[in-house]
Structure 1
Amino acid sequence: MNDGGVDEQRDGGARDTIDAGHRMVRAVGEGNASLGQRVADYFDRLTWRTPIHDMRLKGRYPRKLLAVPADPIAGSAEYGEALTAGWLAWRTEFRALDEVTFASSIGSAAFDDHAQSFAWLRDLWAAPDRAAATRTAEILTQRWLAVHGERVTERGWRPDLWGRRMLMWTAHAPLLLSSTDLIYRSSVLSAIARGARHLDRTADKTPVGVRRIASWCGVVAAGLLIPGGDPRRAIGETGLERALALSVGSDGGIASRSPRDQLDAIELLACLRAAYDARRLDLPEGVAQVLARMVSAMLGTMMGDAGLSSWQGTGPVAADEVQAVLHASRVVRRPLRQASNRGYQRIAAARSVLVMDAAPPPTAPSAAGACASTLAFELSDGEQRVVVNCGGAGMIPDAGLSAGLRSTAAHSTLVLADSNSTALLPDGALGRGVSEVDLSRQESDAGSRIEARHDGYARRFGFRHHRTLTMAADGLELRGDDSLVPTGKRPSRGQVPFAIRFHLGSGVEVLASADAQGATLMTSGGMTWHFRAGGATVVIEESVWIDPEGQVVPTRQIVAGGSADPGGASVSWVFKRAR
Structure 2
Amino acid sequence: MARDLHADRARLALFVTQFGWHRLRTRLMAHPLFPWRSTSVPVPSRLLFAPHDLRTGDPTRASEFYAGRFAFAGKVVLTDGVSPFEVEPPSREWAEELMSFAWLRHMQAAGTPIARANARALVGDWIGMRGHRMPIASSPEVMARRVISWLTQSPLVLQDADPSFHRRFIRSLTSQVRMLANIGADARDGRPRLACALALAFASLCMADQTRLMKLAQKRLVDELDRQILADGGHASRNPGMLVEVLLDLLPLRQCFGARHMPPPPALLNAIDRMMPMLRFFRHVDGAFAHFNGMGPTPADWLATVLAYDDARGRPLSNAPYSGYQRMEAAGTVLIADTGAPPPMPLSHEAHAGCLSFEMSAGRNRIVVNCGMPATAREEWRAVARQTAAHSTATVEETSSCRFVTGGALMRLCGTPILEGPAELHVDRSERGGADVLRASHDGYARRFGIIHQRSWRLSPDGARVDGEDLFRVAQGEEFSADQPSGYAIRFHLHPAVQPSRASDGHSVILKLPDGDRWAFAAPDSAVTIEESIMLAAGSGPRRTAQLVITGQAREVPRVAWTFVRAKSVKG
TM-score normalised by the chain length of structure 1: 0.88
Find the residue that maps to 1:431 and give its secondary structure. Answer: strand
* RMSD (CA atoms): 2.6
1:21 corresponds in structure 2 to none
2:78 corresponds in structure 1 to 96
* CA-CA distance at 1:394 after TM superposition: 7.5
Matches within 5 A, 1:15-54: 34-44=15-25, 45-53=27-35
Matches within 5 A, 1:459-498: 459-488=447-476, 491-494=480-483, 496-498=486-488
Find the residue that maps to 2:444 and give its secondary structure. Answer: coil
1:7 corresponds in structure 2 to none
Quote the Cα distance in structure 2 between the aligned partners of 1:546 and 1:451.
28
1:542 corresponds in structure 2 to 532
1:384 to 352, 356, 365: 365
* CA-CA distance at 1:35 after TM superposition: 2.1
Distance 1:333 1:193, change over 3 A: farther
Question: Does the 8 Å contact 1:469/1:479 carry over to 2?
Answer: yes
Find the residue that maps to 1:51 and give its secondary structure. Answer: coil
Alignment of 1:115 onto 2:98: yes
Find the residue that maps to 2:288 and give its secondary structure. Answer: coil
Matches within 5 A, 1:28-177: 34-44=15-25, 45-53=27-35, 60-90=42-72, 92-96=74-78, 101-102=84-85, 106-127=89-110, 129-148=111-130, 152-177=133-158
2:410 corresponds in structure 1 to none
* CA-CA distance at 1:492 after TM superposition: 4.2
1:190 to 154, 160, 171: 171
* CA-CA distance at 1:321 after TM superposition: 2.9
Quote the Cα distance in structure 1 between the aligned partners of 2:375 and 2:64.
25
1:420 corresponds in structure 2 to 400
Task: Provide Cα deviations, 1:246-276, integer angstroms capped at 9, x if missing partner.
Answer: 2122111112111222221121212322322
Matches within 5 A, 1:156-235: 156-235=137-216
Quote the Cα distance in structure 2 between the aligned partners of 1:178 and 1:330.
36
Range that drifts further, 249-258 or 112-121: 112-121
Letter in 2 for 1:460: R
Question: Does the 8 Å contact 1:306/1:318 carry over to 2?
Answer: no
Quote the Cα distance in structure 2 between the aligned partners of 1:57 and 1:310.
41
1:236 to 217, 221, 225: 217
Distance 1:359 1:285, change over 3 A: same
The list of structure 1 runs, each at least 4 consecutive aligned residues, that deviate by more than 4 angstroms after superposition, is 30-33, 54-60, 97-100, 328-334, 489-492
Task: Provide Cα deviations, 1:406-432, integer angstroms capped at 9, x if missing partner.
Answer: 111110001111111112332333233
Query: How many residues get paired?
Result: 547
1:500 corresponds in structure 2 to 490
2:339 to 326, 351, 358: 358
Alignment of 1:347 onto 2:328: yes
Find the residue that maps to 1:302 and give its secondary structure. Answer: coil
Distance 1:426 1:563, change over 3 A: same
Question: Does the 8 Å contact 1:308/1:317 carry over to 2?
Answer: yes
Quote the Cα distance in structure 1 between the aligned partners of 2:84 and 2:475.
58
* CA-CA distance at 1:87 after TM superposition: 2.8
Alignment of 1:529 onto 2:529: no
Distance 1:52 1:316, change over 3 A: closer
Distance 1:255 1:550, change over 3 A: farther
Range that drifts further, 249-258 or 152-161: 152-161
2:270 corresponds in structure 1 to 289
2:290 corresponds in structure 1 to 309
Question: Does the 8 Å contact 2:291/2:537 carry over to 1?
Answer: no
1:442 corresponds in structure 2 to 430
Letter in 2 for 1:532: A
Quote the Cα distance in structure 2 between the aligned partners of 1:296 and 1:42.
35
2:413 corresponds in structure 1 to none
Letter in 2 for 1:119: A
Quote the Cα distance in structure 1 between the aligned partners of 2:515 and 2:108.
37
1:264 corresponds in structure 2 to 245
Letter in 1 for 2:214: R
Alignment of 1:322 onto 2:303: yes
Question: Does the 8 Å contact 1:536/1:560 carry over to 2?
Answer: yes
Distance 1:362 1:549, change over 3 A: same
Alignment of 1:409 onto 2:413: no
* CA-CA distance at 1:364 after TM superposition: 3.9
> Percent sequence identity over matched residues?
28
Distance 1:113 1:337, change over 3 A: farther
Range that drifts further, 458-467 or 160-169: 160-169
Question: Does the 8 Å contact 2:74/2:377 carry over to 1?
Answer: no
Quote the Cα distance in structure 2 between the aligned partners of 1:314 and 1:31.
26
Task: Provide Cα deviations, 1:267-315, integer angstroms capped at 9, x if missing partner.
Answer: 1212322322432444322211112212222332111211211111222
Question: Does the 8 Å contact 1:343/1:357 carry over to 2?
Answer: yes
Distance 1:444 1:179, change over 3 A: farther
Task: Provide Cα deviations, 1:146-184, integer angstroms capped at 9, x if missing partner.
Answer: 2335x5443222222232222221221111112433222
Find the residue that maps to 1:578 and give its secondary structure. Answer: strand
Find the residue that maps to 2:319 and give its secondary structure. Answer: coil
Instruction: Extract unaligned runs of 5+ from structure 2.
Output: 1-7, 408-415
* CA-CA distance at 1:510 after TM superposition: 0.5
Letter in 1 for 2:108: W
Letter in 1 for 2:69: W
Quote the Cα distance in structure 1 between the aligned partners of 2:38 and 2:475.
58
* CA-CA distance at 1:189 after TM superposition: 0.4
Quote the Cα distance in structure 2 between the aligned partners of 1:330 and 1:107.
43
**Could you say which structure has the greater relative contact order, defined with CA pairs below 8 angstroms and 6 or more residues apart?**
1
Distance 1:278 1:160, change over 3 A: farther
Quote the Cα distance in structure 1 between the aligned partners of 2:13 and 2:275.
23
Quote the Cα distance in structure 2 between the aligned partners of 1:31 and 1:331.
43
Find the residue that maps to 1:456 and give its secondary structure. Answer: strand
Distance 1:466 1:60, change over 3 A: closer
Instruction: Extract unaligned runs of 5+ from structure 1.
Output: 1-26
* CA-CA distance at 1:60 after TM superposition: 4.7
1:13 corresponds in structure 2 to none
Find the residue that maps to 1:537 and give its secondary structure. Answer: coil
